[in-house]
Structures are given as structure tokens and as C-alpha cells.
Structure 1
Amino acid sequence: MRTVIALGGNAIASDGDVTVAQQRARIGALADAVGELAERGDELLFTHGNGPQVGQLLLQQSRADAPERPLDVLVAETQAQIGYLVADQLESAVDGRVTTVVTRVRVDPADPAFEDPTKPIGPYYTESEAAEQSFETGPVTKPTGESAYRRLVPSPEPTAVLEIDEIRGLVADGVTVVCGGGGGVPVVGDGACEGVEAVVDKDHTSRLVASAVDADCLVMATHVEYAYRNFGTDDEEPIRETDAASLRRALEAGEFAAGSMRPKVAACLRFLDAGGDRAVITTPDSIAAAVDGDAGTQIRP
């Protein structure tokens, strides 16, 4: 079986805890969870988020007397940083070579997202601090429940993974690949590409990768064990088994929150529409059981 595992950024680090030691520990625990899949011969590819790590770099940059690095460069930096840590921790678990591919994704410069930046990134600001920034900001709620402001950037749809031929070649050679970090570095242009100030949703890049390598299963590893109906209410109900048509009706009815479960569900449905056999939403420590059909939200065509 060939499986693409999409690791949420908070599966590796939280906004308040981005130390290298903590990231190693979390990835090490993940390696234990996926080791049994590799032992039986499953082919594994990994993608990952990078929100906390990019946020830390932006915070450091705002405090340092140093030349500013554009957002596309920061995404590339964190791809290499996290990819190195993932490869280092996974190599013994998968008993083979692990290679990290710094990945670019093409986006359409006419994507409406460029006119409506909605993705919050970077440090938190007070209202007065936000008014002094040279970029667009918007109101958010901190994990502690306090109101604040953050930088808002576009989140365009990825249309192609530029390194996909190299990724396919590595997979064919039996290499475990880490790619598509942070959704990939967003670029525009059909020939010579140019990076743009945006953040691509890693869930949509993950489904592009999964379809391109003919994966059997796409796993969305996140902070909750299931997708839920009526999430956060007294009527909350986990979705354990479902089909694409039923889940699409729930998505179109506004069942899932934008910025959290909604893009994961949408990406899973598009993977299945493209011919995937199964998609799963689960927690990192339940990945092996979820691949076996025994945990998480199981979504079939």
C-alpha cells in the first residue's frame, strides 16, 4: 500500500513551543507510530505544516537588525529545517533511505485569494501595534482566548507541484520522501518561476502529491481523532465511517470550520474524486490503526 501522511504543523510544534529538542521528540514519537507500517512493506510519503516555525522566524525577524527575508524564502527555510528533522528521526523507523525535497507549487496570479488575504501568520500585535505595520493585519483570538491582531497573507490554491517528477522517481526507487512542507513554496510563471508572498494550504498540496504518485490512502494527521458533526456543541458526534457523497453534503452545509477541518475534508474529497481509494482523518499516534481502518474518520469513494 502507498500512503501519503500529511502532518499538521502542531503535530510537530505548537505556537508556544518551537524548540528543536521538542520537535525531535514529537517526530520521534511519530516514527514509532508509523514504524509498523514500514515493517510490513507499506510505501510512505510525508508532507507537513510549518505554521509555528514560520511564525517563529517572522518574530525573530521583527526583533533583529537584519535584512528582511520574503515569505517564500521563509517557507523554503522551514521546509529544509523540518524536513531534516523528519528524515533524521524516520530513517531508523522505515529501515531505508529518507529524502527531503524542498518543494515549489505553482499558483495562479489571478487567484481571488490575492485580493482577499485571510491567512493569519507571524507574531501577535495589539491594535495600536497592528496599525503601525506596513502589511495588512486582522483580528484573531490567541490560544489563551485574548483578542489580538496578526499579519494576513493570501492563501491561493496550488495548481501543480513543480518537483513531482523527481518525487515520483524517488518513490519508484523505494525512497521514503518528505515533501510539500508548509504547502510548498508558492511561485508564479510557466517558465522562470518567481516566488510570491503567500502561504499555500498544505492539505491541498498533500492531495495533489497523493494523486500524482497514485497513493492508495491519504492520511490527515491533526489534533483531533475524528472529523465531527456539530463540533464544539452538546450534540458533537464523531464521524467514524462515511462516503464521499455524504461528507460532501455536510461540507456544503457548512458543517466544518474554515481554517481547521474544512480544508482537510475538502482535500480528502478531491483526492477521492481523482481516484484515491480511501482518505482518513486522525491523530498522529493513531496513524497505523487508521491506515488499517481501525481508527479515525474513514472516508471512501
Structure 2
Amino acid sequence: MTGLARFSLNQQTVRQWSLPELATGCAAAGVRYVGLWRGPVQEYGAAAAGRLVRAHGLRVSSLCRGGFLTSPEPAARAAALADNRAAVEQAAELGAPVLVLVPGGLPPGSGDLPGARERVAEALAGLAPYAAGHGVRLAIEPLHPMYASDRSVVSTLRQALDLVERFPADQVGVVADSYHLWWDDTVPGQLARAGEGGRIAALQLADWVTPLPEGALLGRGQLGDGCVDLHRFFEQATAAGYRGPVEAEIFSTRLWAGDGAEVLAETLERYRRYVLARPEVAANPEIAHRVTEK
């Protein structure tokens, strides 16, 4: 796949749309992939959601999210594993090849990052074969270090690869998200490492804007609004061998307040200009449009 054919609209970018609106809007815009989230999918029903997207000629690039596997408490751990098995089953019903896992943060009162990461590995040892049996690949997503305490004890691509390389590549990979990884100058080498091992399971894009609006969680920038070299990030992942869908996953109250169709149109145009086109081309929208339509 090349150009716009790889574009995937993550459901969170147009949270204001229902699942039927998402399917209809993406089909009308010629978008081929959608990234879905479990909350709306569970409300609609996973089997029904799968039929809906297929009826509109769409494919699900990923399902988010499973994970949160760091608790040492037996009851909480058993509940987390059960929830992740349910997430695998939902992904399979949707036809989603990838289940995104957010590893989880530090347990209350703990500062033991290595120990928490080891509990994630222990969970993967049981979940990976279960997911493979359903035709689903697990993908660990490293999050920006500001989330290490409460959401992800895996902060860098290197840490994620050190973890997933214990397991077969066709069972466990990584998510490379520009919002979380743009700051790390080791990413180019780690993307190459991931590509050599066939570990890049998903690619997600959002920009970094400062000051962070609405706090960090809802402060992702529309493509081109911040400081991330999105084209370089995309090119590095592509050079590493990743040829799958590219999700625009943007948590933004500004985008959520807009008309969904207009948000999608803007995101597609930004994808052409700032992801597919070189920076010097992106500066001229007319040239960028011609170049990226080829």
C-alpha cells in the first residue's frame, strides 16, 4: 500500500461520531481503514460492529485497548487477564489483526519499574498464545515518560522491544506512536531494529503542541500543528519495513467540538501535507496535494 491508501482514521480523532457515522463518513471520504476503541465497540456489540465496517468496505486496523497488567495483587491480576482475553475475542470478531496494549502504571506505593515490566512479560506469556489462537497479534505501546507512573511503565521503543522480543514476532509486536516517541533520538535505530525483527505491528500519528492544552491526555495536536517531524517518523517506519495502515489518533477537544466530516477532511489534508510530503513540499499545499495523490 502507498499514499492515502494506508491512511486509517482512529475513532478517537472523531469521538463525536457514532460507529455508524464513522463507517459512513469514512466510506464517503474513500478511507479504507478505521482504528476502533473497545468502549464504543462494546456498546454497539463487537459482532455487529464487525459487520457494520465490512458492509461499508472498511477494515479495522487495530483495536484499542487491552493491557494494564502491572498489578501484583492476585484478584486484580486475574481480572486484568480475563479482560484482556475478552479484548482478544472482540478484536477477532471485528477482524482486527492487532490489539493495542497499554502496559499499565506503577502499583500504588511502588517505585519498582523493572518489577512492573516483568509482570507485563509474565502476563504476555499467557496472553500471546491465546491471542494467536484467535488470529490476533498483541502490540505493546510505549507511552511518553510523563505517563510512567499511572499508565505505562514502558516509556521507550527500546524498552518495548526488550520486552516483546521474548515472544514470537507473529504473536507480539510494538506500536510506534509519534506523540509518545518523537522526543527520543534513539528511535531511528530502534525502528530499524523493530523492522528487522518484524515487530512493528501498528503506526500511529499525532503532533506535539506546547503548552499542552487540557493537560497531557487531551492535548494532542492535529497533524502539522506542533513540532513533530511527522514525515521523517513515517519515512523511518516505512524504511524499517512497515507497510501497514497509518492511524491518525488525535485526542483533542478542539477536534471533538467540530463537525466530524470536516475534521476528517482536515485530517486527510494534513496527512497529505505533513506525513506524505517532504517538509519543503508541505509548505506549498497545492504542490503537496499533487505529489501525494500520485
Category of TM-score, reference length = shorter chain:
0.3 to 0.5
- Scaled by the length of structure 2, the TM-score of the pair is 0.37
Structure that is richer in helix per residue: 2
TM norm structure 1: 0.36
